[in-house]
Structure formats: C-alpha cells, structure tokens
C-alpha cells in the first residue's frame, strides 16, 4: 500500500490535456511575464472570489508582504497574528518592516482567538509598539471568526489582512474567505487547493486604491515603465503559472466538494477512534486543505501509518514563537498554551481530490486498528 499525504502530480494528470495545451499556448505566444494569461487569470479569480480585483504575484509569502505594505504597515509597527501558522506568515510581516505580535488560537477552530486582540494591543503598547493591523490565518481551510475580528479591528483602527494561503473556497455564513478584510493574500504553492506548477500567489481586494498600490508594489513601483513612483519590488506571477491556474480554477469548486466528501468519510469512520476530529459548524464551509486530527499519541500513530505505507505530515510541528529565528524578536501575548498543545498532537491525514473513497476508508481502518493497541 502506498497512500501519500498529498499528491500534486495526480492533480496535474487529472487535467493533463488542458494544462499541456495552456502551457503550449504560452510557449508559442512568446510573452512570458505579466501578459494576457496573467490578466485573464486575475479577472477570473477575482470574479470567482467575488472581489473587485486580484493581482498576481510571485508567491504566497510575497502576496502577504505586498498586502501589508499596501495597507501602510511600516517599520516597527505591530501586526497581530497567530504562532500556529506557516512561518511564512510571520516572515512576511517582518519583510514589510512590521513587528509580529503573536497570540493564541481558539482550541476548536485553531484560528486566531478574537478575545486575544485587545490584550495584544495593550501588551504591545507597553513595549512602545503601536499595533496597526491584524492577520487572521484561515488554517487548514477553516475560516477564522471574521465578524468578531473585523468588529474589534474597526474599533481600534486596525487594518485586516487575511492570510488565505490554505482557504481557497472556504466560507463563513455564505461569504468567502478573502472577502471580509481590507485585503487578502493567497498562495498557489503546488499542494494548495488551487496549486500552480511552481510558486505563485495573488492579492485580492475590493478597494480600488489598494489594488492600484499592489500593482505598483509588485513591479518596482512603476507608474510607467522604468519610472518608479514609489519604492517597490519584483514579484510577478509568470504566464507559465497563470495559464495552468486558469485551467485548475474551472475545477476548484468541484475539487473542494471532493475534499469535503473525503473529510465526511474520515468523520464517519473515525468518530470513535479516540482521536479529536476537525471542527466545522453549520455556518462553516471548510475547504479542507488539510484534514487534521489530534492525538496525544501522535508520534506513535505516524510511525504505525508509515510502516503501512500511509503518508502523514505535521502542519506545523514547532510554533513560530518557539523557533530559534524568532526568539526575542516576535512579541508573544500570554502563554499560547493552546498553540503549544496543538503542536504536540496534530497530524494531517491524506487528503487531495484524487484520493479514492476506498483509500480514505483504508486509512481510517488502519487508524481504528492502531487506536485499539496499547500505548508504548
């Protein structure tokens, strides 16, 4: 048995004919950076998301970096986010000149706890740092509690920058992640729900002024070619990535439904296996970028699955505030107890649209069997 935790090649093969034709179209067209494929993808992605504009950039990290700069984050200004995230979230804050202010997560959704925002603002102020923005991370495809986050942010004049790297198609109360805040950042890393064949990202916003600023920032601040009106950077989505993304976008809703069907199999088969299953309430449309369970015997579980040819991963094993690079640099508000407990218990099971029902059931069966064995 060989069931990988994720399989981006399978997604390419599912759309091979269309993707190959799209790539050939770019190669034969002779225009490879910020051409018609990028412009078309930006229009199509913005329409699918339901915002005024989407701007393609070189990666998800760049998308968050550019979004933070677009909303005016400057040197030494505080940005609240979680420690339970990919380090890219915090790296982008520092790239923009901001100071990461890390808070704990809600123990059910694993997303930013809105009750931690005001204590974090006060704690940062005691250190002489003015908080200017909050970055909720829609981790694993579960939307953060955006109504509460936005309400608190508005009261404190904070910009809301959504980290949607794992939330393509996630919804809360019928509204898609990426449409709640001032601006949002998406990643198209190959394993994402909408994945390129390399790196890529996009910034989305309903604010025309922010969209114009993002376009300037991604290409040297050029208001006209070779003339920089602001200090920008070089982060452009390639035509060779935009063309396959246009193909895959057409299938994204269907593939997200497939992820939810796989999650439903796991939910049914693992309900009494002694593990904690992911939460997703009635008002949540989970994108299931990852299907993450929890067990205090996580490492034993992973070893047992590996011995049977089943791939698992940990997203993420070391919280940002405990990583050597950020010791003494990022501020932490409180003890982050939920974050630290999660890091020792979470494990991501195989989930991708091409995973067959019988494979998902086999994974679940092996976990149930393992759960019946004594702890070592």
Confidence of residue 304 (pLDDT cuts 50, 70, 90): very high
Confidence of residue 329 (pLDDT cuts 50, 70, 90): confident
d(CA 202, CA 373): 46
Strand partners, 293: 347
pLDDT more than 90, % of the chain: 97
Residues of the chain with CATH 3.40.640.10: 8-104+112-249
More confident residue, 351 or 374: 351
d(CA 2, CA 44): 36
The structure tokens 């399978």 sit at: 10
Strand partners, 100: 79
Mean pLDDT of the chain: 97
Q: Tell me the fold of 252-371.
A: 3.90.1150
pLDDT in tens, 247-273: 999 999 999 999 999 999 999 999 999
Is residue 153 within 8 Å of 182, Cβ to Cβ? no
| Structure tokens, 252 | 């994204």
d(CA 364, CA 60): 32
pLDDT of residue 348: 99
pTM of the model: 0.97
CA distances for 345 relative to 205, 243, 274, 374, angstroms: 35, 39, 13, 17
d(CA 184, CA 323): 26
Residues of the chain with CATH 3.90.1150.10: 252-371
pLDDT in tens, 177-199: 999 999 999 999 999 999 999 99
d(CA 145, CA 165): 16
CATH of 8-104+112-249, one of 3.40.50.300, 3.30.70.340, 3.40.640.10, 2.60.40.1930: 3.40.640.10
Phi, psi (deg, nearest 5) at residue 27 = -60, -40
Query: Does pLDDT of 376 surpass 80?
Result: no
């Amino acid at each position: 048995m060989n069931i990988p935790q994720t399989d981006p090649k399978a997604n390419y093969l599912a759309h091979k004919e269309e993707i190959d034709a799209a790539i050939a179209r770019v190669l034969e067209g002779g225009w490879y950076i910020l051409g018609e494929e990028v412009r078309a993808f930006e229009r199509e992605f913005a329409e699918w998301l339901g915002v005024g504009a989407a701007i393609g950039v070189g990666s998800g990290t760049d998308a968050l970096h550019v979004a933070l700069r677009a909303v005016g984050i400057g040197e030494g200004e505080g940005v609240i986010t979680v420690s339970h995230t990919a380090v890219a979230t915090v790296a982008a804050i520092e790239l923009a000149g901001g100071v990461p202010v890390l808070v704990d997560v809600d123990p059910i959704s694993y997303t930013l706890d809105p009750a931690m925002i005001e204590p974090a603002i006060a704690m940062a102020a005691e250190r002489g740092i003015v908080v200017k923005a909050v970055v909720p991370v829609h981790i694993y495809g579960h939307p953060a509690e955006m109504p509460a986050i936005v309400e608190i942010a508005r009261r404190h004049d904070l910009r809301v920058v959504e980290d949607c790297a794992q939330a393509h198609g996630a919804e809360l109360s019928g509204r898609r992640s990426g449409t709640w805040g001032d601006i949002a950042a998406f990643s198209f890393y190959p394993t994402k729900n909408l994945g390129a064949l390399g790196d890529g990202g996009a910034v989305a916003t309903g604010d025309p002024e922010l969209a114009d600023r993002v376009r300037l920032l991604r290409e040297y601040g050029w208001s006209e070619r070779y003339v920089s009106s602001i200090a920008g950077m070089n982060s452009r989505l390639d035509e060779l990535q935009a063309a396959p993304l246009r193909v895959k976008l057409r299938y994204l809703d269907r593939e997200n439904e497939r992820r939810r069907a796989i999650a439903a199999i796991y939910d049914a088969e693992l309900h009494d296996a002694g593990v904690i299953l992911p939460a997703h309430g009635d008002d949540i449309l989970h994108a299931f970028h990852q299907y993450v369970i929890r067990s205090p015997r996580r490492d034993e579980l992973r070893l047992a699955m590996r011995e049977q040819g089943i791939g698992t991963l940990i997203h993420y094993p070391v919280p940002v505030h405990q990583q050597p690079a950020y010791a003494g640099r990022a501020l932490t508000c409180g003890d982050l107890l939920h974050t630290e407990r999660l890091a020792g218990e979470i494990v991501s099971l195989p989930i991708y649209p091409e995973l067959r029902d019988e494979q998902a059931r086999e994974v679940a069966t092996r976990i149930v069997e393992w759960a019946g064995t004594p702890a070592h």
